[in-house]
Structure 1
């Protein structure tokens, strides 16, 4: 999306200066106040607390027809599998992961979600960095933090949740959800000033993902011929400039009403996780969400001196707070269709983040920082 003017001092970093630092007020150890931007900040990455493990168990009535339609069962000390657990298939629960039986507890090698991230995709950001404008150094640092986190994850494939900007589908066909299954896709299709690229797609994995989601009763479309728009190419430009990690684009119709419910998008993420964790290939999967929290493009709520605006800064701050506190359930509940509309005509891009959050258990981000004046943020999560 295009950016508002560069006035203001809205840069916000979430991340305590130490264990005794209050993230809301900035009190405690020296650090940067989230609202004023003052102080000397020392970046400390969150260490997520230990999480309750879960077993992914196919429901009895879907075990044959829908092997990836799963129930989430708490796995604690003394936890027992329900009687319909697939013991015949040699599955048992160990450390929250499927294993193989037979003389030992050899771990079954399957796919896994290793981490996730969320970033904006403002189309002017690459040019601002290239021209060395004042904002460029800040953008390099923020995207650089997320890029570094992704490199540490060493993913084999990157699932990208994105919302089409009236480029790929438009009036011909507007699927609520669709997965790109081509061998590759070029782009961007919309901004000539952006560098052209061709992203490799893991077509085999993408087709398996789409097929299993349909079997799990998620009616996800298949896109076999398309170009990528700036919502994908801008993040890739900063995060994987060598385009060395194949992607799987997952389109969420967050901009063209009617948009999907937030809980449906979160459920899509959970269904994707279930497919990944049952995939026979031991694929390391990272997940990326592309989009803003509050943004108006060319509509009645733009700023006085720009064709863009942030109509609901309080909502953007609320999203940030809930992300920092790992309150994903509250975020899903509060991200109603009405609230997303109040956030701007691009407010539905938050659904890409919500789908991404469905692919792993709630936890605090390892990195989270906002640019309040633009209504968006940068974040990274480590899952394994």
Structure 2
């Protein structure tokens, strides 16, 4: 067998409204976002991945303020999502088990330690919320592809720096190349873009920030893409710190992204985008 390779990279928002209340958005915005998701789904299928490295935050479903790692790698054989029946109804995703690429997760964890990263290890019990359930309802509706989930802290300060997230992605690419069991791997980052969680500004969208970030993602220059300060991201909401998951995906592929859709959708409480790496 040949060594593994990341053959595709994608990034997408994961607002619960995308699947939970899609009809609240303006019809043209909904159509644009869902068409972009469908295009990304078709591209993933054409890539014939043996596994997907899925990178997201999680919203205190598994972790808490007493145990909140900067990065975490899961190594389960499968993952429950959404975590509760109430969450399943909220995001309109049937509760089920997602297949896991356990040995790929184990390899990534060991490789990360050897590469001077120190992620937390989650053996088995990582439950999914909207972080993975919302985007993968569109990207892999039948849950066919085994997942190696990665969690990045994008929900509570202090966060890993944008550059550290990008470099973590570069490490993931090397980890995939260092194994042979999964020859074709796709990476998907989910989160963001601008939004406020649990604050009076909830429902606002900072379209200027979103478009600037997407322009940098399109260009692909890592220096420009990772140059954000905390205050610059804060201006787009506490939820905007989830762009770290996109930075991990960008680091893993090392190229610019085609922006398949961007819509400011206050009804979904977020700036919403889908993007695909120009591999």
The residue that corresponds to 1:218 in the other structure is 117
Counting only pairs closer than 5 Å after superposition, residues 333-372 of structure 1 correspond to structure 2 as: 333=227, 335-365=228-258, 367-372=259-264
Q: Secondary structure at the match of 1:309?
A: coil
> Which residue in the other structure is 2:204 paired with?
309
Residues 1:119 and 2:119 are matched in the alignment: no
1:140-151 aligned at under 5 Å gives the runs 140-151=34-45
Residue in 1 aligned with 2:63? 169
For residue 343 of structure 1, give the secondary structure of its aligned residue in structure 2: coil
Check the 8 A contact 1:368/1:377 in 2, yes or no.
yes
Partner Cα separation in structure 2 for residue 296 and residue 345 of structure 1:
5
Q: Is the 8 A contact 1:324 1:368 kept in 2?
A: no
Residues 300-356 of structure 1 show CA distances to partners (whole Å, capped at 9, x for unaligned) of: 323xxxxx222x3221110121122223320111x2222222210101110000011
Distance 1:138 1:314 in 2: 19
Structure 1 unaligned blocks of 5 or more? 1-107, 303-307
Offset, 1:220: 1.0
Q: CA deviation at 1:133?
A: 8.5
Does residue 208 (structure 1) correspond to residue 107 (structure 2)? The answer is yes
Residue 289 of structure 1: which of 189, 203, 225 is its match?
Answer: 189
Q: Which residue number in structure 1 is paired with residue 141 of structure 2?
A: 241
SS in 2 for 1:271: helix
- Alignment pair present for 1:152 and 2:36: no
Superposed, 1:33-182 pairs within 5 Å as 109-128=2-21, 134=27, 136-182=30-76
The CA RMSD over aligned residues, in Å, is 2.1
In structure 2, list runs of 5 or more residues that go unmatched.
Answer: none
Q: Which has the larger displacement, 200-209 or 272-281?
A: 272-281
- 2:156 pairs with 1:256: yes
Shift of 1:139: 3.6
Equivalent position SS for 1:339: helix
2:80: which partner in 1? 186
Which has more helix, going by share of residues?
Answer: 2
Which deviations, in whole Å up to 9, do the C-alpha atoms of 1:213-246 show, x marking residues without a partner? 1111100111121211111011111110110100
CA shift for structure 1 position 371: 0.8
Conservation of the 8 A alpha-carbon contact between 2:81 and 2:129: yes
On the 8 A contact 1:129/1:139 being kept in 2, the answer is no
* Cα deviations by residue, 1:239-285 (Å, 9 ceiling, x for unpaired): 10110100111000011111110000011000111111121335211
Change (3 A) 1:189 1:364: closer
Cα 1:132/1:371, change in 2 over 3 Å: closer
Q: What is the alpha-carbon distance in structure 2 between the residues aligned to residue 130 and residue 151 of structure 1?
A: 27
More relative contact order, 1 or 2 (CA 8 Å, 6+ apart): 2
Q: Structure 2 vs 1, CA of residues 136 and 369 (structure 1 numbering), >3 Å: closer, same or farther?
A: closer
Q: Is the 8 A contact 1:129 1:137 kept in 2?
A: no
Larger Rg: 1
C-alpha separation in 2, matches of 1:130 and 1:299: 24
